[in-house]
Amino acid sequence: MRLQAVKGNTTRPTADKVREALFHRLGPYFDGGIGLDLYGGSGAISIEAISRGMERMHIVELSKEAITTITKNAKHCRVDQRLTIHQGRAQSVLKRFSSERIQFDFIYIDPPYKQQMIEEDIQAIVGGTLLHPDGVIVCEHDSSVTLPKEIESLETVHEKRYRDTTITMYRMSESEE
Protein backbone atom coordinates (compact mmCIF):
# COMPACT_ATOMS: atom_id res chain seq x y z
CA MET A 1 0.00 0.00 0.00
CA ARG A 2 1.45 3.37 -1.00
CA LEU A 3 1.56 5.92 1.82
CA GLN A 4 1.37 9.68 1.49
CA ALA A 5 4.49 11.67 2.31
CA VAL A 6 4.51 14.98 4.13
CA LYS A 7 4.69 17.85 1.65
CA GLY A 8 7.85 19.95 1.62
CA ASN A 9 11.21 19.09 3.10
CA THR A 10 10.39 19.19 6.82
CA THR A 11 10.50 15.39 7.03
CA ARG A 12 12.68 12.78 5.37
CA PRO A 13 10.90 9.48 4.77
CA THR A 14 12.80 6.31 5.61
CA ALA A 15 13.77 4.65 2.34
CA ASP A 16 11.85 1.46 1.58
CA LYS A 17 15.11 -0.51 1.39
CA VAL A 18 16.18 0.72 4.83
CA ARG A 19 12.76 0.02 6.36
CA GLU A 20 12.68 -3.52 4.91
CA ALA A 21 16.19 -4.26 6.16
CA LEU A 22 15.35 -2.87 9.59
CA PHE A 23 12.28 -5.05 10.07
CA HIS A 24 14.09 -8.07 8.62
CA ARG A 25 16.77 -7.55 11.27
CA LEU A 26 14.20 -7.18 14.06
CA GLY A 27 12.49 -10.36 12.96
CA PRO A 28 9.50 -10.75 10.71
CA TYR A 29 6.89 -10.27 13.41
CA PHE A 30 6.46 -8.68 16.80
CA ASP A 31 4.58 -10.62 19.43
CA GLY A 32 2.38 -7.79 20.65
CA GLY A 33 3.93 -5.03 22.70
CA ILE A 34 3.89 -1.26 22.70
CA GLY A 35 6.08 0.83 20.42
CA LEU A 36 7.14 4.45 20.19
CA ASP A 37 8.00 6.34 17.00
CA LEU A 38 9.67 9.44 18.41
CA TYR A 39 9.62 11.55 15.23
CA GLY A 40 6.63 10.23 13.29
CA GLY A 41 6.98 11.83 9.85
CA SER A 42 4.51 9.97 7.62
CA GLY A 43 3.83 7.23 10.18
CA ALA A 44 5.32 4.54 7.92
CA ILE A 45 7.47 2.94 10.65
CA SER A 46 4.52 2.69 13.05
CA ILE A 47 2.20 1.31 10.38
CA GLU A 48 4.83 -1.28 9.43
CA ALA A 49 5.36 -2.26 13.08
CA ILE A 50 1.62 -2.78 13.58
CA SER A 51 1.40 -4.81 10.37
CA ARG A 52 4.13 -7.05 11.84
CA GLY A 53 2.34 -7.69 15.13
CA MET A 54 2.99 -4.70 17.39
CA GLU A 55 -0.17 -4.23 19.46
CA ARG A 56 -0.04 -0.43 19.74
CA MET A 57 2.20 2.39 18.54
CA HIS A 58 2.59 5.85 20.02
CA ILE A 59 3.82 8.52 17.62
CA VAL A 60 5.40 11.80 18.73
CA GLU A 61 5.36 14.53 16.10
CA LEU A 62 5.62 18.31 16.31
CA SER A 63 4.42 19.23 12.80
CA LYS A 64 0.67 19.64 12.28
CA GLU A 65 1.13 18.80 8.59
CA ALA A 66 2.89 15.56 9.47
CA ILE A 67 0.14 14.66 11.95
CA THR A 68 -2.48 15.17 9.23
CA THR A 69 -0.47 12.88 6.94
CA ILE A 70 -0.03 10.24 9.68
CA THR A 71 -3.77 10.29 10.38
CA LYS A 72 -4.62 9.83 6.68
CA ASN A 73 -2.08 7.02 6.26
CA ALA A 74 -3.27 5.22 9.40
CA LYS A 75 -6.90 5.35 8.25
CA HIS A 76 -5.93 4.26 4.74
CA CYS A 77 -4.13 1.22 6.22
CA ARG A 78 -6.90 0.60 8.76
CA VAL A 79 -4.61 0.84 11.79
CA ASP A 80 -5.85 4.17 13.18
CA GLN A 81 -7.41 2.45 16.22
CA ARG A 82 -3.98 1.11 17.22
CA LEU A 83 -2.09 4.41 16.94
CA THR A 84 -1.94 7.24 19.44
CA ILE A 85 -0.49 10.51 18.16
CA HIS A 86 1.10 12.97 20.60
CA GLN A 87 1.78 16.44 19.25
CA GLY A 88 4.74 18.12 20.89
CA ARG A 89 8.48 18.21 21.32
CA ALA A 90 10.11 14.83 21.92
CA GLN A 91 11.69 15.70 25.28
CA SER A 92 8.40 17.06 26.68
CA VAL A 93 6.40 14.02 25.62
CA LEU A 94 9.08 11.67 26.99
CA LYS A 95 8.77 13.38 30.39
CA ARG A 96 5.01 12.87 30.29
CA PHE A 97 5.42 9.18 29.40
CA SER A 98 7.82 8.80 32.32
CA SER A 99 5.34 10.35 34.76
CA GLU A 100 2.68 7.96 33.40
CA ARG A 101 5.12 5.04 33.84
CA ILE A 102 4.72 3.80 30.27
CA GLN A 103 7.33 1.33 29.00
CA PHE A 104 7.97 0.53 25.36
CA ASP A 105 9.18 -2.68 23.72
CA PHE A 106 10.30 -0.92 20.52
CA ILE A 107 11.45 2.69 20.22
CA TYR A 108 12.31 4.25 16.87
CA ILE A 109 14.27 7.51 16.87
CA ASP A 110 14.59 9.30 13.53
CA PRO A 111 14.90 13.04 14.14
CA PRO A 112 15.32 15.55 11.33
CA TYR A 113 19.00 15.29 10.41
CA LYS A 114 19.60 18.98 11.19
CA GLN A 115 18.09 18.60 14.67
CA GLN A 116 19.71 15.39 15.82
CA MET A 117 19.62 15.00 19.58
CA ILE A 118 19.68 11.21 19.61
CA GLU A 119 21.96 10.87 22.64
CA GLU A 120 19.80 13.30 24.63
CA ASP A 121 16.65 11.42 23.57
CA ILE A 122 18.17 8.10 24.66
CA GLN A 123 19.30 9.57 27.98
CA ALA A 124 15.72 10.77 28.59
CA ILE A 125 14.37 7.33 27.66
CA VAL A 126 16.75 5.49 29.99
CA GLY A 127 16.41 8.08 32.77
CA GLY A 128 12.63 7.88 32.54
CA THR A 129 12.68 4.06 32.53
CA LEU A 130 10.72 4.10 29.26
CA LEU A 131 12.41 1.09 27.63
CA HIS A 132 11.21 -2.35 28.69
CA PRO A 133 14.23 -4.42 29.86
CA ASP A 134 13.90 -6.68 26.79
CA GLY A 135 13.16 -3.76 24.45
CA VAL A 136 15.13 -2.31 21.57
CA ILE A 137 15.89 1.25 20.50
CA VAL A 138 16.48 1.79 16.80
CA CYS A 139 18.10 5.04 15.66
CA GLU A 140 18.12 6.24 12.06
CA HIS A 141 20.72 8.92 11.50
CA ASP A 142 22.95 10.57 8.95
CA SER A 143 26.00 8.43 8.21
CA SER A 144 28.25 11.37 9.09
CA VAL A 145 27.04 11.05 12.71
CA THR A 146 28.82 8.49 14.87
CA LEU A 147 26.83 7.36 17.88
CA PRO A 148 28.63 5.94 20.92
CA LYS A 149 28.78 2.17 21.33
CA GLU A 150 27.30 2.61 24.81
CA ILE A 151 24.83 5.20 26.06
CA GLU A 152 23.77 5.01 29.69
CA SER A 153 22.88 1.33 30.34
CA LEU A 154 22.50 0.52 26.62
CA GLU A 155 24.94 -1.03 24.19
CA THR A 156 25.00 -1.20 20.42
CA VAL A 157 23.85 -4.59 19.15
CA HIS A 158 23.77 -3.76 15.44
CA GLU A 159 24.86 -0.99 13.12
CA LYS A 160 24.46 -0.85 9.34
CA ARG A 161 25.14 1.89 6.82
CA TYR A 162 22.91 2.48 3.78
CA ARG A 163 24.62 5.24 1.77
CA ASP A 164 23.78 8.48 3.63
CA THR A 165 21.74 6.72 6.33
CA THR A 166 22.89 4.54 9.21
CA ILE A 167 20.72 2.37 11.45
CA THR A 168 22.03 1.79 14.99
CA MET A 169 20.25 -0.57 17.41
CA TYR A 170 20.61 -0.52 21.18
CA ARG A 171 19.54 -2.93 23.91
CA MET A 172 20.13 -3.02 27.65
CA SER A 173 23.63 -4.26 28.34
CA GLU A 174 23.80 -7.77 29.81
CA SER A 175 24.96 -6.48 33.19
CA GLU A 176 21.94 -4.14 33.44
CA GLU A 177 19.16 -6.67 32.72
Domain CATH for 73:
3.40.50.150
In a domain, 2, yes or no: no
User: Looking at residues 148-168, what average pLDDT do you find?
Assistant: 93
Q: What is the pTM of this model?
A: 0.89
Residue 31 pLDDT level (bands cut at 50, 70, 90): confident
In a domain, 174, yes or no: no
Under 8 Å CB-to-CB from 134, ≥6 apart: which residues? 105, 172, 177
In a domain, 102, yes or no: no
pLDDT at 89: 95
Region for residue 131 given its phi and psi (left: phi exceeds 0; alpha: psi -120 to 50; beta: otherwise)? beta
The rounded distance, in Å, linking the Cα atoms of 66 and 5 is 8
Do 112 and 11 contact (CB within 8 A), yes or no?
A: yes
CA distances in angstroms from 25 to 20, 50, 126, 160, listed in the order given: 9, 16, 23, 10
In a domain, 83, yes or no: yes
How many domains is the chain partitioned into structurally? 1
**Which domain, by its residues, includes 151?**
16-97+109-164
On average, the pLDDT of the chain sits at: 88
113 in helix, strand or coil? Answer: helix
Backbone angles phi, psi at 82, to 5 degrees: -110, 10
Do 58 and 109 contact (CB within 8 A), yes or no?
A: no
In a domain, 64, yes or no: yes
In a domain, 172, yes or no: no
Residue 137, pLDDT above cutoff 90: yes
Nearest residue to 121 via CA among 97, 85, 99:
97
pLDDT at 177: 52
